[in-house]
Chains A and B, each alone.
Chain A
């Protein structure tokens, strides 16, 4: 299903900034060491960001069963008459997930902007 890509026709622009950007995308297209390193830097940045989010989830939500088992005061605490485990799992988990998702979206877009800046400046 993956055929050889058709020959690409490229229109040269006079604008210098634009031309350097084309040069960098050429590096990527022809899979030079520099082109591959550029793409790898983007992939690594996004992967690091993803791992940070996963670690935060693991250390908060993921640590709850351990906390319930080994810190009895967490399992038995009440806030406003509601047992703490019910409050954490029945309500607070959802805003936490939403905030983490929002943080990820903002920073993932920032990583992409950095990648595009790299293409422009190199």
Chain B
């Protein structure tokens, strides 16, 4: 492949992102601007921004890779990542916006009125954030290796540098605009080459997949424990979305609870539109790039297709477009994650030592550096699988916290903390085992590979049981908090005095 085209694509995307980010520089002066863009973002822009931030390396590269390798069973990944927003919409969107919380830690403090619950939530935000950030850096390494043959650590380092620059200079305001731009950039970059491919495919006599390959790829539920693995994946993705730190922070930028719902509906539409494309790449890959399955490099199928199907300048153009889109994916997801992780670290973990915007900058550097080291140290897991592990932890911790916190007055601080510790501990152990390379056989292996089906119920039941055992520890203002979460904004009622901006 033409190295110049790849380099141009990556540099162009990085520059465009930085330039658009620079627009926000003048307006983000105070800390609260820095975090949430002053709540002045309209639903369509916000829906694009949420989708832009959400569509990561796993969506842009990983889904096509999994479809290429595993066929129809892999389609549960994008379906689950979209359905997660429906579950978020019905249980969480409006109440979370009405809570006024910036972060999941803020929500824990508001609802439970407990400093300890806040700290447990903060630690989990960092764990989930770093787990999600890791595959982004690895995906960037893979992209630069495919495009220009650079060593894998280079891509991660480039993303780390650009993301730190954006986050440190602009904060969230710029990031909202950048993210909205990124959605449409990613969508266009994935859509345009499809026309080139389909043109070539027709000219080729429209070869059918079955020529190349086997029925177990076309038909669902393959392999041992397929039923368990599929349902566990469904639970993790459907329920985990609401617990991702960079998703939640976006809801604060809606004007009110109603706008939060409409924004989420917009996200459902935009994600559905986008996810039609990676499937096509996976199927085309099965026809034209089957050797990637043999060499175990299925994650690079999106980037490899231009060279496998096209020739000369069109191949270079296709590769440049896709390389640019992939880089946009790493930049957008990584910057959203870094803002969220840094927000929590600077507020709760560096509290007292450094303050305000300075703490935020320190925290940004710390989060990026730690992830970069981890990204170099671990690797080998398919990108979409690695991301899904972060979902499993989110589903086993913040899903029960949000569900019970919003809909049940009986949730107490000891109940919430016990559930977070049990769900987080069990799921994180399984995830660490998988990241460390453990691949067991039989039922044990399946339970570790996809833990959500048992860790989510464990966390939920622990929260309910411990809360029922500690009824005297209900937060004193829980009734007023419920009014705040559920009453429409224009009803003039007392919503309590909690204000995340003043606690900052």
Contacts and interface: CB of A to CB of B under 8 A. Distances in A.
A83 B216 CA distance: 13
Interface in B294-314: none
B219 A39 contact: no
A2 B300 CA distance: 51
B219 A85 contact: yes
A28 B486 CA distance: 12
Interface residues of B, number: 56
A100 B72 contact: no
Interface string B75-99: 1100100110111011100100000
B89 A104 contact: yes
B258 A109 contact: yes
A2 B498 contact: yes
Interface in A69-122: 69, 75-76, 83, 85-86, 89-91, 93-95, 97-98, 100-102, 104-105, 108-109, 112, 115-116, 119
Most A Cβ at <10 Å: residue of B86, B262, B476, B497? B86
A97 to B, nearest CB: 5
Given A1-B498, A69-B227, A101-B265, A83 B218 contact: yes
Contacts of B275: 94
A36 to B, nearest CB: 6
Interface in B253-275: 258, 261-262, 264-265, 268-269, 271-273, 275
B332 interface: no
Given A43-B482, A83-B219, A91 B276 contact: yes
Contacts of A65: 220-221, 227, 230-231, 234
A50 interface: yes
B221 A28 contact: no
B72 A85 contact: yes
B227 to A, nearest CB: 6
Given A3-B497, A42-B487, A116-B491, A101 B477 contact: no
Given A43-B486, A91-B276, A95-B272, A101 B264 contact: yes
A29 interface: yes
Contacts of B230: 65
A8 interface: yes
B220 A43 contact: no
Chain B contact residues, majority secondary structure = helix
B438 interface: no
Nearest to B231: A65
Nearest to B267: A101
A1, A4, A8, A61 pick with most chain B CB within 10 angstroms: A1
B109 A47 contact: no
Contacts of B76: 89
Contacts of B258: 109, 112
B496 interface: yes
A29 B91 CA distance: 24
Contacts of B487: 28, 39, 42, 115
A75 B488 contact: no
B503 interface: yes
A4 B498 CA distance: 10
Which of B269, B482, B486, B488 lies at the interface centre, i.e. has the most chain A CB atoms within 10 A of its CB? B486
A46 B86 CA distance: 14
B225 interface: no
B494 interface: yes
Contact of A105 (B261, B479, B492): B261
B480 A31 contact: yes
Nearest to B475: A2
B220 A75 contact: yes
B495 to A, nearest CB: 9
A76 B76 CA distance: 18
Interface in B73-125: 75-76, 79, 82-83, 85-87, 89-91, 94, 109-110, 113
A36 B481 CA distance: 12
11 contacts: A1-B498, A2-B113, A28-B487, A61-B83, A75-B221, A86-B75, A94-B79, A95-B272, A109-B258, A109-B261, A112-B488
Interface of B: 72, 75-76, 79, 82-83, 85-87, 89-91, 94, 109-110, 113, 218-221, 227, 230-231, 234, 238, 258, 261-262, 264-265, 268-269, 271-273, 275-276, 279, 407, 476-477, 479-480, 482-483, 486-488, 491-494, 496-498, 503
By Cβ-Cβ distance, the 7 closest A-B pairs, closest first, are A94-B272, A89-B75, A50-B90, A68-B220, A29-B494, A90-B279, A101-B268
Given A49-B90, A62-B234, 14 more contacts: A2-B498, A61-B234, A65-B227, A69-B221, A75-B219, A85-B72, A86-B75, A89-B76, A94-B268, A97-B82, A97-B272, A101-B86, A101-B89, A104-B90
